[in-house]
Amino acid sequence: MTAIIDGYLTGQLLVAMPAMDDPRFERSVIYMCAHSSAGALGLIINRLADHISFSELLGQLGIAAAPSQEIRVHVGGPVEQARGFVLHSADYVRETTLVVSEEIALTASMDVLAAIAAGNGPRRSLLALGYAGWAAGQLESEIQANGWLQAPADEDLLFGQNVDGKWHGAIRKIGLDLSALSSAAGHA
């Protein structure tokens, strides 16, 4: 979907290495919404929230529309878990939308939730509570320490319903054999 530009991973996937020992990110796949010298922000796309449904969230936000579709709520990351983000196809773009690539955008306003509930939202979407964030240089250090792999993103992997299969799907996109990976890869 998006090429790596100037060493930054905006529009790419971060895939946790098998030996990732941080339980917040174990076997996670993160779509990188923004990455620059100032830091990075991404959404975990393969972890469902078990404490709230889309209908319940709409009710809490006072959005009266009956949802035309029930979308699943994801845990986007450990930062600001009360804040919602909708990762979606770029056919829906408003003033508050961050266009990540030609195909993918991110909107964090309630307008997109109301549009989805009314059936006027983006063609494909993923709702996440919270995000994964890194300070300047932090993500690069984690990649150097063999915490993450990078993979190209595609809509089927991003928005596909098989949440449990996304990590393996991302590993396959990279073309790696899991048995060949170790936490010490790349160290002499």
**What is the residue-wise DSSP string for the chain?**
----BTTB-TTEEEEE-TT---TTTTT-EEEEEEEETTEEEEEESS-B-SS--HHHHHHHHT--SPPSS-PPEEE--SEEEEEEEEEEETT---TTEEE-SSSEEEE-SHHHHHHHHHT-S-SSEEEEEEEEEEETTHHHHHHHTT-EEEEE--HHHHH-S-GGGHHHHHHHHHT--GGG--TTTT--
Q: How confident is the model at residue 9 (pLDDT cuts 50, 70, 90)?
A: very high
pLDDT value of position 154? 92
Regarding pTM above 0.75, the answer is yes
pLDDT at 139 over 90: yes
Looking at per-residue confidence, does 169 or 6 come out higher? 169
Query: Using CA atoms, how far apart are residues 131 and 143, in angstroms rounded to an integer?
Result: 18
pLDDT value of position 187? 41
Domain residue extents for the chain: 12-180
pLDDT at 33 over 70: yes
pLDDT at 59 over 80: yes
Q: Which CATH architecture has domain 12-180?
A: 3-Layer(aba) Sandwich (3.40)
Q: How confident is the model at residue 184 (pLDDT cuts 50, 70, 90)?
A: very low
**C-alpha dist (Å) from residue 180 to 17, 128, 165, 184:** 12, 32, 19, 11
pLDDT value of position 58? 87
* Per-residue pLDDT tens digits for 62-93: 887 665 667 889 999 999 999 999 999 999 99
Query: Using CA atoms, how far apart are residues 178 and 130, in angstroms rounded to an integer?
Result: 29
pLDDT value of position 176? 79
pLDDT value of position 186? 44
pLDDT at 155 over 50: yes
pLDDT value of position 118? 85
